[in-house]
Amino acid sequence: MKLLKKHTTSKGNKLEFHQFETTHIIVIDNSCQMERVYRLGDRRALCWDDFGKRHSKRTEIRSFEQVINAWVNEEIHF
């Protein structure tokens, strides 16, 4: 795995973004010991609504930067 970025959220969670193989990115939250895997080409929700539920709109994952930006901007969280 290749480390792409480390980030601390406004709530203090320590995130790490790792590239796995050529098409997968793994988001690891070391504070709550959870992780989520995204694959380029998949359709996934990358934001939350006002009630804490995922938007029904799914976005095609086109780049690792797209996933990293959604997490860093806190559009999505665990």
Compare 26 and 51 and report the one with higher pLDDT: 26
**CA–CA–CA angle 5, 44, 61 (5° rounding):** 55
Q: Give the other-Cβ count within 10 Å of 71's Cβ.
A: 22
Q: Read off the pLDDT of residues 9-30 as tens digits, 9 standing for 90 and up.
A: 999 999 999 999 999 999 999 9
pTM for this one?
Answer: 0.86
CA angle 58, 40, 51 (to 5 degrees): 30
CB 70 within 8 A of CB 47: yes
List pLDDT tens digits, range 60-77.
999 999 999 999 998 887
